[in-house]
Structure 1
């Protein structure tokens, strides 16, 4: 062999090594998300190092010219530029406020990786398996213990993280499994469909009867309706929506957990007053949203700049009750963006959601999982800051990035990409 041939072979082997390493760390990262913030951060560093050695100009150029990528980059660029007019008192706080926006760049990097990799399904499966283990541990703590893992967790039936994150993960797994079960049923693989439905119901039973978040109670029916309207014929869609109504009534009658959560929300909302000393989660959200409207009105076009939320809320804090709370999070994704980046930022946020949603218009399971992730983020963003919360941010980054990348690539000869 000539030296040129040997050098080419060496470069090929090195590129393959880093491609395999990047895939491995992405799979491990997805598996870590339901369990540990620190482990996820640790694995992100390893993934990033391996990924950088796989980059080439052609794949970067091909990806960044897509609207799903350049809208994200424009959104992040606007946040970075906003430090120039930010009302945060120090530059450290301003750039710290850019951090959650900058993390969204990872979506573009994941697009690049999985528009070339054939291991996208491994990442999705790793997340599902990891969530299934959390589910098993959750049931084990309830059946064999006091519902708390070693007494270290705060919430009943929640072995790690918090109940909002756990519910979000379980709901996403359930709707993905039900969609897959529908596909298997369509090809008469009834045994596989039954097994998938059983696992999906195990996730949903945990949500309804063990630990319930109000966000999940809104997100789940929306996801089911979106699936029915986008994936089924009109007659079947009507049947599914009717079934949702019947099942919702059955859950309401049989689950004291759901009833208590919903009734508590209405009671907290009816008792809300800015001067109240009752710091219930519902009352706090209503107060934060009331103040957010006033804050946005002060700088409606470009906002108050990255990292400005605590400063702007502090100016409106009065008294000892709810009105005196200085919020660091408006508990609404649109308000969080509007306060910092104004209406321009909100337009960028919705443009990102829309372009990502349109990427998943196909009828494949990959497309449905991607659409479910986007829908969950949009609906959950009505009540939380999910795009910037650690777990939900990673769900969005990996869900949109992996599924989007898989749909951006061309199927290998003889293989069907869109299962």
Structure 2
């Protein structure tokens, strides 16, 4: 469609390079739109998928087949297949079964992303676009904190111009930690102006999480991401210095941020309410987890089937009040969400997929670092949410793994090519 439009406009057919450029621009626009608009992102993503059709149809099928059969692409596809097959034994309405399959459709995009960005040279555009988009959102977040009427949509939290505070926290925390290696690297190169700019941007994200709005799960996954940074980039002495700096910063934030202290104190308050059978966030999660464990114990091997979670909670709530009467189709824990529907088989598939993606990003470089952060953040935040199945966080995972995975494989191939060429030259000289 895009090729036809441009061909009519300019009077010539698009070549392969132009098609790649169109696809890459659409990918950048989709990622830039993700923090702002669900519908806008979806439209741009569909256009990107359509732009791949001529590229894939004219390419050799063997590279695509090799990508699809690798664990990092095959396991997400198996997760989707498991969800589809799981509808066969679910004792739930078909509408609920389809709703159970829907969150896993996004996993089908991972092979396309990996395959395309293994060939594209513009993967870094995606990360720059996402960082720029989140930076603009962060600036607007500070503005609407003091001028709420400037919000772009109606949101429940102050300082959240669009969507919700959980999505915003996930984005800002990822950008903040992702910038850390560049800040250190620029300082070592004595590029002090660039270092100051990166540090200021990091501080802006930190301050927004501490003083404006943040998800409480960020208190868990941000330290884990910082540990990943220390393990990957710092020696023992530098890690100790980072620990001291983070401790001082945390103490300063804790003593100055009434918002953060209240967020933490609310955990105990909500738990106390739950003991009085009053539905609050902390108590509701505990209730969901306890019931989900029972549902899992009733069908431990293959689970209760796709889309069965809400039906199970509805049956359990009959004749009860308060917390016990709460009904959900999301237990707010990724492992339990999978366990209830597909049992041990689903848990093994989920953790095998996470493990394959962690192994994919075990190398060095920009793409491997960002991909590693995306996977670690998703695993950690999924202790308190079902973020792989949620729209925003789920797409952050799919895009991060797919794009960074393709870039990582491209870099490995580039590094391996000179070695293969030199080996071939040595063998030819020996034969001569």
TM-score (ref. length: structure 2): 0.88
User: In structure 2, which of residues 178, 185, 188 is the aligned counterpart of residue 186 of structure 1?
Assistant: 188
Q: Which residue of 1 aligns with 2:121?
A: 118
Which digits, 9 at most, give the CA deviation of each residue in 1:186-219, with x for residues without a partner? Answer: 3222221111010111011011001121011211
Q: Which residue of 1 aligns with 2:380?
A: 379
Which digits, 9 at most, give the CA deviation of each residue in 1:377-417, with x for residues without a partner? Answer: 01100011111111111111111111111001147989xxx
The answer on whether the counterparts of 1:148 and 1:157 sit within 8 Å (CA) in structure 2 is no
How far is the alpha carbon of 1:148 from its aligned partner? Answer: 5.9
Within-5 A mapping of 1:209-288: 209-273=211-275, 276=277, 278-288=278-288
The answer on whether the counterparts of 1:360 and 1:371 sit within 8 Å (CA) in structure 2 is yes
Which digits, 9 at most, give the CA deviation of each residue in 1:117-149, with x for residues without a partner? Answer: 011111111111111111111112224x14761
Q: Which residue of 1 aligns with 2:360?
A: 359
Q: Which residue of 1 aligns with 2:339?
A: 338
Which digits, 9 at most, give the CA deviation of each residue in 1:19-53, with x for residues without a partner? Answer: 22221111110001000011111112111111122
Q: Which residue of 2 aligns with 1:50?
A: 51
In structure 2, C-alpha distance between the alignment counterparts of 1:186 and 1:268, rounded to whole Å = 47
The answer on whether the counterparts of 2:114 and 2:405 sit within 8 Å (CA) in structure 1 is yes
**Which one is further off, 284-293 or 60-69?**
60-69
**Which one is further off, 20-29 or 33-42?**
20-29
Provide the aligned length of Structure 1 versus Structure 2: 400
The answer on whether the counterparts of 2:169 and 2:214 sit within 8 Å (CA) in structure 1 is yes
Which digits, 9 at most, give the CA deviation of each residue in 1:306-355, with x for residues without a partner? Answer: 11111111121141201001112100111111111111111111111111
How far is the alpha carbon of 1:102 from its aligned partner? Answer: 2.1
Please identify runs of 4+ aligned residues in structure 1 that moved more than 6 A.
411-414
Structure 1 residues 151 and 71: alpha-carbon distance in aligned structure 2, compared to 1, 3 A threshold: closer
Structure 1 residues 393 and 290: alpha-carbon distance in aligned structure 2, compared to 1, 3 A threshold: same
The yes-or-no answer on 1:128 pairing with 2:123 is no
The answer on whether the counterparts of 1:167 and 1:216 sit within 8 Å (CA) in structure 2 is yes
How far is the alpha carbon of 1:161 from its aligned partner? Answer: 0.6
In structure 1, C-alpha distance between the alignment counterparts of 2:248 and 2:227, rounded to whole Å = 14
In structure 2, C-alpha distance between the alignment counterparts of 1:410 and 1:156, rounded to whole Å = 42
Structure 1 residues 293 and 147: alpha-carbon distance in aligned structure 2, compared to 1, 3 A threshold: farther
The answer on whether the counterparts of 1:120 and 1:406 sit within 8 Å (CA) in structure 2 is yes
The answer on whether the counterparts of 2:169 and 2:215 sit within 8 Å (CA) in structure 1 is yes
The answer on whether the counterparts of 2:181 and 2:233 sit within 8 Å (CA) in structure 1 is no
In structure 1, C-alpha distance between the alignment counterparts of 2:240 and 2:90, rounded to whole Å = 49
How far is the alpha carbon of 1:282 from its aligned partner? Answer: 1.1
Structure 1 residues 375 and 272: alpha-carbon distance in aligned structure 2, compared to 1, 3 A threshold: same
User: In structure 1, which of residues 81, 84, 91 is the aligned counterpart of residue 85 of structure 2?
Assistant: 81
How far is the alpha carbon of 1:301 from its aligned partner? Answer: 0.7
How far is the alpha carbon of 1:67 from its aligned partner? Answer: 1.5
**Which one is further off, 218-227 or 28-37?**
218-227
The answer on whether the counterparts of 2:303 and 2:342 sit within 8 Å (CA) in structure 1 is yes
User: In structure 1, which of residues 61, 66, 71 is the aligned counterpart of residue 70 of structure 2?
Assistant: 66
Query: Would you tell me which structure has more helix in proportion to its own residues?
Result: 2
The answer on whether the counterparts of 1:212 and 1:257 sit within 8 Å (CA) in structure 2 is no
Q: Which residue of 2 aligns with 1:164?
A: 166
The yes-or-no answer on 1:96 pairing with 2:99 is yes
The answer on whether the counterparts of 1:148 and 1:155 sit within 8 Å (CA) in structure 2 is no
In structure 2, C-alpha distance between the alignment counterparts of 1:311 and 1:182, rounded to whole Å = 51
TM-score (ref. length: structure 1): 0.91
Q: Which residue of 2 aligns with 1:322?
A: 323
The yes-or-no answer on 1:308 pairing with 2:340 is no
Q: SS where residue 84 of structure 1 aligns?
A: coil
Q: Which residue of 2 aligns with 1:142?
A: 145
Q: SS where residue 279 of structure 1 aligns?
A: coil
The answer on whether the counterparts of 2:27 and 2:126 sit within 8 Å (CA) in structure 1 is yes
How far is the alpha carbon of 1:16 from its aligned partner? Answer: 3.2
The answer on whether the counterparts of 2:153 and 2:161 sit within 8 Å (CA) in structure 1 is no
Which digits, 9 at most, give the CA deviation of each residue in 1:283-326, with x for residues without a partner? Answer: 11111111111011011111111111111111211412010011
The answer on whether the counterparts of 1:79 and 1:98 sit within 8 Å (CA) in structure 2 is yes
Structure 1 residues 96 and 150: alpha-carbon distance in aligned structure 2, compared to 1, 3 A threshold: closer
Q: Which residue of 2 aligns with 1:203?
A: 205
